[in-house]
Structure 1
């Protein structure tokens, strides 16, 4: 009979092992967040998740499970759910260094080429205004400018899902003007025609708010010109 030189490992009962009281809830919330977010790189996302919690920041967590979009022919790694995460994290900062935006994109595993293309389209250098960066990012998952602005309303609204997706008209105008500037083919007289129609026909009756049904109305001038 052979005997092992290894000492017997101590045996602990559950009563002998102290478990931090907050640990079960932390692990539960982490598991729920991972299931909702479905990160491509679980380890990298987990590091970003706990780093955000430790720093008192908004963690990279989707509000709900995001199903694949049938109209999106290729998986670009960029989705409205991820953009909503990024908006929550970055919008309070207004204008911020591009390196900070890139890091947040990396945290949610958005391919670097997507980030690079947005930077190129926006001609961003060292810093970027987050609203401008977001507008271009949304346009990359939209079919056209109208669809981009619908998605922006859905992303920014305080209304519950399925409601009107209202946002302040002043905020909407800034996005529309910037996207028109990026487009390059929409002239100022047409932009003014769109804004005047919406302001006089709808916004004046909606306490300064606008929602997608206003600018997709048949009588509204086409946003694209």
Structure 2
């Protein structure tokens, strides 16, 4: 009967060369994201890493979140993470959204509220859900659109936060219709009023172009 393997010294331990970088990146991701359930989030992180999927990681630490009394709901950073994970296609399944939402340790009741507001079926238009997420963050139409610009922009942080006007128009129209108090001619009038700024910016729009519009709230 062969003797069991015996470890005599540390030099005999085989450490995969990629392990230090994996653990370093994981630690940095956890610090930036600040998950409420570290074990659940860790399992989601390594599953995504193994599958080559978008990681459930914020771009940066949201310092203001740590000071909130109830720090459990959707934040701009988490909505941006969801957008990176689910925006590859125009639609996503309800099951996939629930999976990504849970992986970020977000409350299920908040997701169910958003799904109910949008009257979504098993297949979800991602940009419509994204718009509802911005609405949950902003509370008013104006602030919701501002969040949409800040999350979707490819501009550097603390800059103009420009996004394509077509994208802005879709989000604005969807939220305005959902509100129910605005007629289509009012929606068209507002979008047409922004055209001069949009043309100057080569089809882009930024919060300063619409933030002072009175009828939006």
- Normalising to structure 1: TM-score of the pair? 0.89
Larger Rg: 1
1:209 pairs, out of 190, 201, 204, with 204
1:32 match: secondary structure: helix
Q: 4+ runs of 1 displaced by more than 6 Å? A: 70-73
Structure 1 residue 126 corresponds to structure 2 residue 122: yes
The 1:188/1:38 distance shift into structure 2, 3 A limit, reads same
Show structure 1 runs of 5+ residues with no match. 1-6
In terms of fraction of residues, the more helix-rich structure is 2
- Alpha-carbon distance in structure 1 between the residues aligned to 2:115 and 2:40: 23
Contact 1:194 1:221 in 2 (8 A): no
How much does 1:15 deviate? 1.9
1:96 match: secondary structure: strand
How much does 1:93 deviate? 2.1
Q: Deviations over 1:23-68 (max 9, x none)?
A: 0000010011011111011111001101101111011001111123
Number of the residue aligned with 1:86: 82
Number of the residue aligned with 2:91: 95
Number of the residue aligned with 2:162: 166
Contact 2:33 2:60 in 1 (8 A): yes
The 1:70/1:146 distance shift into structure 2, 3 A limit, reads farther
2:92 match: secondary structure: strand
How much does 1:73 deviate? 7.3
- Alpha-carbon distance in structure 2 between the residues aligned to 1:74 and 1:177: 31
- Alpha-carbon distance in structure 1 between the residues aligned to 2:59 and 2:66: 20
Show structure 2 runs of 5+ residues with no match. none
Contact 1:76 1:114 in 2 (8 A): no
How much does 1:82 deviate? 0.7
Matches within 5 A, 1:47-196: 47-69=43-65, 74-196=70-192
- RMSD between aligned alpha carbons? 2.0
Number of the residue aligned with 1:4: none
Contact 2:90 2:126 in 1 (8 A): yes
- Alpha-carbon distance in structure 2 between the residues aligned to 1:191 and 1:70: 38
1:222 match: secondary structure: helix
Number of the residue aligned with 1:46: 42
How much does 1:13 deviate? 2.6
